[in-house]
Amino acid sequence: MAGGNRQTGIGELRMRILETFCEGKTSAEANEDRIVFADGYAAVIDGATDKTGLRLGGKAGGVLVADALKALFEGRAGLSGGLGFHEFVAVATDAVAAALKAAGWPEGFPPPCASIVVFNERRRELWRVGDCHYAVGDEVSLGSKAIDDLTSSMRAAVIRRALDRGQDLNGKDPGREVIMPMLQAQHLHANNAESPVGFPVMDGRPVPESLLERPVTVGKGDLVVLASDGFDFLKPTLRETLEAQERSYRIDPLRIGLPGGRASTKGLPQGAIRHDDQSYVSLMA
């Protein structure tokens, strides 16, 4: 989905949406990303890729969480323009918990999750929970978490060693096989302030304040870009962002950190045009 150059909001709210893009890695039906514009809010929601195989009502866990957060904005239940960041996190957490309970997510099963980045026009603040990306003016912040840096490095090392030995990978990813147990255990570090690699995420469990970032102030007329972590690069325009991503795929399809690419927990599947769901929103605040 792509589009742009429209205004949203009411009364004195006049953010101008410039460009939007939201595409799934395999299909629109499997896309776990969401973008939303609702009365003074703009947000990109990145439902985490499912690793459990569990489906409820035909939906993966990341879709359930992303849809719950999108519905929160669109329904306005519990949200107000004056809501502060920590209040928003609490309301959103409750909304996700309620949605998972209503869907019948099994107790004791690893909870699905999503990351989110939000522009609140009334407060002129940008909020982030998780590893989405944002840019305000010339300042770019690519979301990351320590555990992904660790697993990406491990995967890259395994693949590089295989290539050095002349091994024909033949579409296989021995590095991802090595790190998969760590990926499946990531929920143990989510919203865990005691873990050395703990990270914040929306999964229906309380988010420790110590894991939250501070809100970022946005000036009137600033260019704001919001994106999911399916993009490895964040540029002022969608065209530049897509070009940078496509260039990195040509240079480093295995995504092991060759110059011009970024090491990742997964490569570009054969025949695919993207490795992950990708969402992008640019707006004039």
Query: How many domains does the structure of the chain reveal?
Result: 1
pLDDT, tens digit only, all 285 positions of the chain: 566 555 554 445 689 999 999 999 988 888 999 999 998 999 999 999 877 778 898 888 999 999 999 999 998 666 776 789 999 999 999 999 999 999 999 988 899 999 999 999 999 999 999 999 999 999 999 999 999 999 999 999 999 999 999 998 988 999 999 999 999 999 999 999 999 999 999 999 999 999 999 999 999 999 999 999 999 999 999 999 999 999 999 999 999 999 988 899 999 998 899 999 999 999 999
Domain encompassing residue 230 = 2-284
Q: Using CA atoms, how far apart are residues 258 and 275, in angstroms rounded to an integer?
A: 16
pTM: 0.91
CATH number of domain containing 31 = 3.60.40.10
pLDDT digits over 149-182, tens only?
Answer: 999 999 999 999 999 999 989 889 999 999 999 9
Distance CA 44, CA 281 (A): 7
Closest-CA residue to 139 (of 74, 82, 255, 217): 217
